[in-house]
């Protein structure tokens, strides 16, 4: 879909020309899974696909929502902004507009708007299509409502926080900050080493000469439901409580692998011990992966990705047949440096580092193995690491 085609669709929908156009990317997490709520760091990057928003003012003091991806249309007076029933997709935008006004009283919504969204992030793939929509809306309406921090770094962090608050309050999903943060703070050919608690971060160059990041979609929508997610949060909390009997800590990410050897015996709950072992190892792997990337040690980075998947499979138990089948097939292909699940788990996508000359063999072998073992067809995306949210025109 070209921008010109989007503009034409807007004109067909509303009978007038677009005034402004914005883009916000999806994201993939290269390593650092289920560490964020345990005090650890993550390492996502923004992608070249995401969500576009085209807008124009109207004189009717209403917000009109249309999407090129979904059939439902909404028309809501600007005096009546509140969550819409039946999980309406416009909630991801409405919430951002209301939260901007709440967090920044100087921001005023003084006009109605006609809005058209388009996204090319695969739905249900765990690549943050909702975060892209939230952040692109926050970017557009902070501008339209007259608020913007002069410090670009702080401004982008605030866009992420607006999107996260929208997800919590209007979508009912108590997500962490990673997805919105990557969408807001992304930088071309860089990944983001982010502490989700403090929101301190570093852009790390991703120099992959002759190697591509390949995302493989299981087409088994990720469904780490709130019960499974909350179980793991609780199990990690249990581990912290039991470790505190021998070593005071606030979160698992405080522990080094050496510390772990000293304290693991204090955890009497075998499931909590497995969960904690993953977190401690994953925090260390993520730090090591960042250093490997800085040193150009791409083969070692790939090894750490593979080790991450094994830990998520065996200790955190969030992979499932589809993700395991993809990762295990990828490991057999010559020219694959590493492969792992990415996102919450139980479906969604894997992310792999693949040498250029091996990409077609990778697609053919992994696709064949996956279909034979699951009955599903995988899709492959050769990813480009792009910039964060922006106004296009």
- Just list the catalytic residues: 179
DSSP class per residue in 61-121: SEEEEEESS----EEEEGGG--PPSTT-TTHHHHHHHHHHHHH-TT----SEEEEEEEE-S
Structure tokens belonging to residue 212: 């591509």
Cβ atoms of residues 131 and 46 within 8 Å: no
Cβ atoms of residues 33 and 286 within 8 Å: no
Strands (E) located in 151-245 = 190-195, 201-205, 211-217
- Residue entry with tokens 């996204």: 119
For the range 366-371, what are the long-range contacts, defined as Cβ-Cβ under 8 Å and sequence gap of 24 or more?
A: 366/216, 366/326, 366/329, 366/330, 366/333, 369/325, 369/329, 370/218, 370/322, 370/325, 370/326, 370/329
Within 8 A by CB and 6+ apart from 373, the residues are 321, 325
Phi, psi of 361 (to 5 degrees): -65, -40
Structure tokens belonging to residue 266: 């204090």
Cβ atoms of residues 378 and 216 within 8 Å: yes
Do strands 211-217 and 379-383 pair parallel, antiparallel, or not at all (unpaired)?
antiparallel
Distance CA 16, CA 192 (A): 39
């Amino acid at each position: 879909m070209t921008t010109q085609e989007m503009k034409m669709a807007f004109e067909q929908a509303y009978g007038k020309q677009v005034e402004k156009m914005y883009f916000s990317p999806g994201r993939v997490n290269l390593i650092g899974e289920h560490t964020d709520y345990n005090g650890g760091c993550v390492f996502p990057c923004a992608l070249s696909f995401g969500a576009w928003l085209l807008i124009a003012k109207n004189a009717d003091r209403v917000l009109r929502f249309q999407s090129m991806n979904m059939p439902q249309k909404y028309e809501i007076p600007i005096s009546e902004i509140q969550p819409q029933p039946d999980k309406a997709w416009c909630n991801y935008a409405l919430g951002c507009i209301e939260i901007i006004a709440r967090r920044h009283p100087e921001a005023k919504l003084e006009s109605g708007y006609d809005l058209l969204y388009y996204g090319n992030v695969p739905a249900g793939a765990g690549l943050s299509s909702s975060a892209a929509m939230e952040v692109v809306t926050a970017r557009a309406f902070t501008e339209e409502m007259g608020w913007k921090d002069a410090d670009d770094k702080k401004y982008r962090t605030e866009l992420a926080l607006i999107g996260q608050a929208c997800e919590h309050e209007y979508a009912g999903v108590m997500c962490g900050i990673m997805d919105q943060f990557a969408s807001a703070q992304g930088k071309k050919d860089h990944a983001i080493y982010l502490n989700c608690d403090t929101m301190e971060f570093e852009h790390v160059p991703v120099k992959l000469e002759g190697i591509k990041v390949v995302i493989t979609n299981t087409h088994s929508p990720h469904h780490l439901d709130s019960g499974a997610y909350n179980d793991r949060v609780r199990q990690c909390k249990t581990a912290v409580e039991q470790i505190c009997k021998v070593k005071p800590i606030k979160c698992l990410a405080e522990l080094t692998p050496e510390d772990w050897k000293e304290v693991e015996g204090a955890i009497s709950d075998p499931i909590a011990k497995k969960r904690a072992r993953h977190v401690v190892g994953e925090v260390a792997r993520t730090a090591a992966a960042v250093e490997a990337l800085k040193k150009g040690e791409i083969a070692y980075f790939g090894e750490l990705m593979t080790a991450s998947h094994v830990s998520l499979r065996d200790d955190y138990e969030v992979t499932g047949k589809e993700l395991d089948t993809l990762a295990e097939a990828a490991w057999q292909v010559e020219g694959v440096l590493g492969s792992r699940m990415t996102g919450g788990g139980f479906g969604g996508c894997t992310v792999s580092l693949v040498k250029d000359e091996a990409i077609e063999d990778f697609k053919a072998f992994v696709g064949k193995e996956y279909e034979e073992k699951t009955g599903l067809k995988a899709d492959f995306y050769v990813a480009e690491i792009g910039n964060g949210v922006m106004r296009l025109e």
